[in-house]
C-alpha cells in the first residue's frame, strides 16, 4: 500500500511558539544558524510524519499525537488530508506543565 503525504498546516499557536523559540535562540547565539537548523529538523520530521503518522506517540485523543525532535515535542492532529501542528513543547520544562494529560 502506498502512503500519500498529508498537507502540513501550522496552527496560529504553533507558529507563535516556533517564532518565540527562534527569537530566543537568535538572541542567545547572536546568529540565526541554530534556528535555521532547527527549522530544517522540524520540516524533515513533519515530512516523515505526514507520510507515516504512526511513527509518533499516541495520546488519549485518538487524532492527537506527538513526536520528539531534538529537545522539543511537536504536538499535532492527524486528519485524512493534513497534519495540523498544534504546539511545540520544550522538553526541558517542568513535565507537570506538559499540555497533553
The CATH code that applies to domain 7-92 is 3.30.2310.20
pTM: 0.88
pLDDT, tens digit only, all 101 positions of the chain: 456 788 999 999 999 999 999 999 999 999 999 999 999 999 999 999 998 888 888 888 888 999 999 999 999 999 989 999 999 999 888 888 777 76
Return d(Cα 37, Cα 57) in angstroms, integer: 24
Closest CA to 72 of 58, 55, 85: 85
Answer yes or no: are the C-beta atoms of 68 and 52 closer than 8 Å.
Answer: no
Closest CA to 67 of 80, 81, 51: 51
Return d(Cα 43, Cα 45) in angstroms, integer: 5
Return d(Cα 12, Cα 79) in angstroms, integer: 18
DSSP state of 65: E
Three-class DSSP category at 12: helix
Amino acid at each position: 500500500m502506498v502512503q500519500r503525504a498529508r498537507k502540513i498546516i501550522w496552527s496560529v499557536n504553533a507558529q507563535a511558539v516556533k517564532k518565540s523559540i527562534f527569537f530566543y535562540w537568535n538572541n542567545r547565539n547572536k546568529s540565526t544558524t541554530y534556528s535555521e537548523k532547527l527549522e530544517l529538523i522540524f520540516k524533515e520530521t513533519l515530512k516523515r510524519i505526514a507520510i507515516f503518522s504512526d511513527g509518533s506517540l499516541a495520546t488519549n485523543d485518538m487524532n492527537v499525537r506527538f513526536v520528539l525532535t531534538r529537545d522539543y515535542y511537536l504536538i499535532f492532529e492527524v486528519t485524512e488530508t493534513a497534519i495540523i501542528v498544534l504546539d511545540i513543547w520544550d522538553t526541558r520544562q517542568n513535565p507537570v506543565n506538559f499540555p497533553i494529560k
